[in-house]
Amino acid sequence: MPPKQSLSMSWFLQYLRPVKWRMVLLLFMLLISIALQLVNPQIVQRFIDQATGTGTAASLLTLAGLYIGIAVINQLFTVSLDYLGNDVAWRSTNRIRASLLQHTLRLDMRFHNRKTPGEMIERIDGDVTHMSNFFGMFIVQIVGSFVLLTGILGYMFVFSPPIAATMAVFTCLSIGVMFAIRNLGVKASQAERQANASLFGLIEERISGIEDVQANGGVPRLMNRYHRAMRTVFQSGLKAWLLRITPWNVTVILFTFAVTAVLLISVRLYLHGQITIGTLFLFFQYTQMLNDPIEQLGNQIQEFQKAKSGMNRSRELLSLHSEIEEGDEESLPAGPLSVSFEQVNFSYNEDQRVLHDISFELKPGERLGLVGRTGSGKSSISRLLLRLYNIDNGTIRVGGVDIRSLRQEALYRRVGMVTQDVQLFDGTLRDNLTLFNSNLSDEEVFETIEKLGLRPWVDAMPDGLDSRLDAGGASLSAGEAQLFALTRVFLTKPSLVILDEPSSRLDAATEATLQTAVDQLLERCTGIIIAHRLSTLDKVDKIAVLREGRMIEFGAREALAQNPSSEYFRLLQTDRQEELA
């Protein structure tokens, strides 16, 4: 077995091991069902022979009752097999979904910048859904099909070697063709899944920006892109389907020849008095039954092609590794944390550097204000502090420890960040505030929201902390969302806080409330505040001014504010003129 195929099988089996006993039960029930399928045509044979011969009414009723009883039992087994097969499929594939989701959440931000959420949903759910039948029934139905084929051919060799030989040739040719071209549609199926992923990525991206699309008249262009994406899905899907059904088409042609040959031989034997009319029916029935496992094999080959394309894409996703390597350090010094950047260079893309030789130092408990035009690199500094990206070169230390030597969990336990956009999750108010941390008590939550002035808003909710919030943040105003985000950070008790434009969307009154909350938060930790409104930086200790990714000024806020030749002084003057205007 080639190494790649062996790897695929080992990857496949690791998700089947937890459900192995269910699969054993599934196989056992399938064998019973096959035995019942083989018995019923023989009952019909005896019924026909007795009905055309000297059979009594009682014996015919007995055979009819036996036939109905076996048919009912077989139907119960069929229903049970479908239920158990789907149970096995979902149990195993849900483990794959969990593995993919967990792995994706650990990948770095460069990966997530390249992939849209819609595309990732299709990769995690859509591809795996195509594997569900393969995981649940493939092995069982393959084994069951071969057992049924063996039973039919074995019986036929006992009663009519010529017919058995004809059926055996048909079976061998059908199986040989199917396995020879089993991978014919794999690449086309992968292309189909990629086209679907691109379509879902397009839909998700445009729906999330629907306000801008409508406001700027972009609907016609969006629909044009949608139609082109749909056409790609249709063309790739049609090609994949045509290639997947090729094995089935071949077996249909072979089956037509096999049935014709069996009927001709059976009629000849009947006309020569070598078999009864019941036996002729039995031969015909077994020939029809022979097609069922062949069709099952053909269907499973189609499922195999779809599943293999999904497995290839899933394994490809699981083979990706984050650029962010875990360190070994588990802890940071107690209390507020110092921060230092030492000649840090960074770029999102290789051909465009964002930060150039950034160097500064913050002592424990100090507050730094980052100012500069849009695109100057302020938010990039915050992302690097949280190690969402790797720096090109240089060193970043938090609490005197190089963040590359820290475990990410150890860093996130001590560093909190409030971004411009606040993400709400579908859940209760409590879950959203604590981010599903069950160790935080309601008393701690209420104490924190009281400090931040959110208590009246929480009390106004219909079910208090048990009230459900809409995902996306539609149920909060801009001011409430910012205070909400601050509450989350407060509850984590961080030693270093990064505030990215905390008052960018607030009115003056809400900004004053927010500023009070920020002051309370920063009393016990080191703070870095990124701001366009310079009024929010009145209480910081130091100022860093950025321009085009370079730090052009760094120093004490009061000294820079009183120095007419400083860049910060000029920015203050401009800011005051804009407020007066």
Structure confidence by residue, pLDDT tens digits, 91-108: 888 888 888 888 888 888
Q: Which pLDDT value is given to residue 484?
A: 77
- Asked if residue 99 and residue 194 are part of one domain, the reply reads yes
Specify whether 229 is located in the same domain as 345.
no
Tell whether 282 and 375 lie within a shared domain. Answer: no
Contact 167, 258 (CB under 8 A): yes
pLDDT of the residue at 556: 92
Q: What angle do CA 262, 264, 266 make, to 5 degrees?
A: 65
The predicted structure's pLDDT at residue 535: 75
CA 150 – CA 286 distance, rounded (Å): 12
pLDDT for residue 388 is more than 50: yes
Non-local (6+) Cβ contacts of 256 within 8 A are none
Domain of 150 in residue numbering reads as 9-318
**Are 126 and 251 found together in one domain?**
yes
CA distance 243 to 304: 13
Q: How many helices (H) and strands (E) are present in the chain, helices listed first?
A: 23, 12
pLDDT score of 38 more than 50: yes
* Confidence band for 2, pLDDT divided at 50, 70 and 90: very low
> CA-to-CA distance for 33 and 222, rounded, in angstroms?
53
Please state the φ and ψ torsions of residue 176, each to the nearest 5 degrees: -60, -45
Tell me: do 143 and 193 sit in the same domain.
Answer: yes
Q: Are residues 292 and 175 in the same domain?
A: yes
In a domain, 33, yes or no: yes
The answer as to whether 253 is a domain residue is yes
From 283, 318, 353, the end of a domain falls on: 318
What was the pLDDT predicted at 133?
Answer: 65
Residue 397 has pLDDT above 90, yes or no: yes
CATH code where residue 249 lies: 1.20.1560.10
DSSP bridge partners of 367: 527
- Among 176-185, 308-317, 457-466, whose mean pLDDT is lowest? 176-185
pLDDT at 553: 92
The three-state (H, E, C) secondary structure of 267-279, written as one string: HHHHHCCCCCHHH
| Segment 162-187, tens digit of pLDDT | 888 888 888 788 777 777 766 666 67
Question: Is 108 among the domain residues?
Answer: yes
CB atoms within 10 A of CB 178: 22
Q: What is the 3-state secondary structure (H, E, C) of 21-84?
A: HHHHHHHHHHHHHHHHHHHHHHHHHHHHHHHCCCCCHHHHHHHHHHHHHHHHHHHHHHHHHHHH
pLDDT at position 396 is 94
Q: 3-state DSSP call for residue 323?
A: coil
Q: Is residue 288 located within the same domain as residue 149?
A: yes
Examine residue 464 and state whether it is found in any structural domain, yes or no.
no
Within a domain: 480: no
Q: What is the DSSP string of 178-241?
A: HHHTTTTTHHHHHHHHHHHHHHHHHHHHHHHTHHHHHHTT-HHHHHHHHHHHHHHHHHHHHHHH
The pLDDT value recorded for residue 5 is 44
Q: Specify if 328 maps to a domain.
A: no
Question: Dmax over Cα atoms in the chain, in whole Å?
Answer: 122
Which tokens hold the place of 497? 């806080």
The structural domain count of the chain equals: 2
Instruction: Provide φ and ψ at 38, rounded to 5°.
Output: -75, -30
- Quick one: 220 and 365 in the same domain? no
- Predicted local confidence at residue 402, as pLDDT: 92
Structure token pair of residue 289: 């039954």
Instruction: Flag whether pLDDT at 407 surpasses 70.
Output: yes
| Same domain flag for 215 and 83 | yes
Confidence of residue 419 (pLDDT cuts 50, 70, 90): confident
Q: For residue 386, which amino acid is it? A: L
Assess contact for 92 and 16: CB atoms under 8 A: yes
Note whether 501 and 531 are same-domain residues.
yes
pLDDT band at 341 (very low <50, low <70, confident <90, very high): very high
- pTM for this model (two decimals): 0.65
From 257, 288, 318, give the residue that closes a domain.
318
Query: Residue 141 domain-assigned?
Result: yes
Secondary structure (DSSP) of 362-402: E-TT-EEEEEESTTSSHHHHHHHHTTSS--SEEEEEETTEE
Write the CA distances from 459 to 428, 433, 489, integer angstroms.
14, 15, 21
Per-residue pLDDT for 446 more than 80?
yes
Asked if 430 and 464 touch (Cβ cutoff 8 Å), the reply is no
pLDDT attached to residue 1: 37
216 and 305, same domain (yes or no):
yes
Domain boundary among 248, 283, 318: 318
pLDDT digits (tens, 9 = 90+) for 274-294: 888 888 888 888 887 777 777
- What's CA 433's distance to the chain center, in Å? 25
Query: Is residue 415 domain-shared with residue 280, that is, in the same domain?
Result: no
CATH code: domain of residue 414: 3.40.50.300
Asked if the structure places residue 450 within a domain, the reply is: no
Instruction: Return the higher-pLDDT residue of 135 and 496.
Output: 496
Query: What mean pLDDT, rounded, does the chain reach?
Result: 81
